[in-house]
Amino acid sequence: MNIFNLEGGLMKSLSKFTDCIYLSVLFLVSCIPVFTIGTAATALYYTAYKVLRLDRGYIFREYITAFKDNFKQTTPVWLLTVLLGTIMGIDWYVMFAYVQDEDVLGALIVVFLVGMIVLTAWAFYLFPFMARFENTRRQSMKNAILLVVAHLPMTIVMLALAAVIAVLIYMIPLFLGLLPAVFSWVQSYILERIFRKYMTEEERAREEEKNYD
């Protein structure tokens, strides 16, 4: 048996590995302006689902198309996310000072810590949701927070996965060029099962027919 057969398991695995690196690098480069991170996250999920999972299309083409299509819709949402995160981060820092001074107000640090975790979980649903469905910004944001609560076990799984990946990148920075795509790829297996629950029969049939063609 020729292990270097293009249709063999080894070559397919190597192809997926290089695709993950390529997609992660595209994501990181498009995050450089900072205000584009939300759009980049949307394009990352779309491309990971369509190309890495469904084996349809090409990394660069799908990513650029998704980025352009979602830029106007996702940028204001991302800026709002940054604003909320900044406010919570500052509040957490202030409460941390109270903790060090053994002030009773330091107990509020837990509130802001939970707030930052919820905000992160919200983003994990929000940008993939915007990648997959056409909705108003307000409706997308509302649906995302409802999904965080309605599917709490899966929310915890995604948060745990993200924490593991963050630790790996901290320990081995080179993983930054691989793991963003891997995270979105794995995330798609969680989120697509959830998303399908809220599709009508017509939407499911249409989804199966086009399969992102």
Residue 4 lies in a domain: no
Q: Which residue range is the domain that position 30 belongs to?
A: 9-210
Which residue, among 152, 142, 150, 167, has the nearest Cα to 117 in the 3D structure?
152
- pLDDT category, 1, cuts 50, 70, 90? very low
Q: How many domains does the chain have?
A: 1
- pLDDT of 84 above 70: yes
- pLDDT category, 47, cuts 50, 70, 90? very high
User: Is the Cβ–Cβ distance between 22 and 59 less than 8 Å?
Assistant: yes
Residue 161 lies in a domain: yes
For the beta carbon of residue 113, count every other beta carbon within 10 angstroms.
15
Instruction: Decide: helix, strand or coil at residue 24.
Output: helix
- pLDDT category, 2, cuts 50, 70, 90? low
Range in 6-10, 79-83, 87-91, 120-124 with the lowest mean pLDDT = 6-10
CA distances from 148 to 104, 115, 212 (A): 31, 13, 25
Which residues 6+ apart lie within 8 Å of 102 measured at CB? none
Q: What token pair was written down for 155?
A: 């929310």
Q: What is the pLDDT of residue 10?
A: 73
Residue 126 lies in a domain: yes
pLDDT tens-digit readout, 109-146: 788 888 999 999 999 999 999 999 988 999 999 999 99
Q: Specify the pTM.
A: 0.88
Residue 160 lies in a domain: yes
- pLDDT of 104 above 70: no
Residue 16 lies in a domain: yes
Residue 127 lies in a domain: yes
Range in 104-108, 162-166, 169-173 with the lowest mean pLDDT = 104-108
Residue 2 lies in a domain: no
Average pLDDT of the residues in 89-101: 75
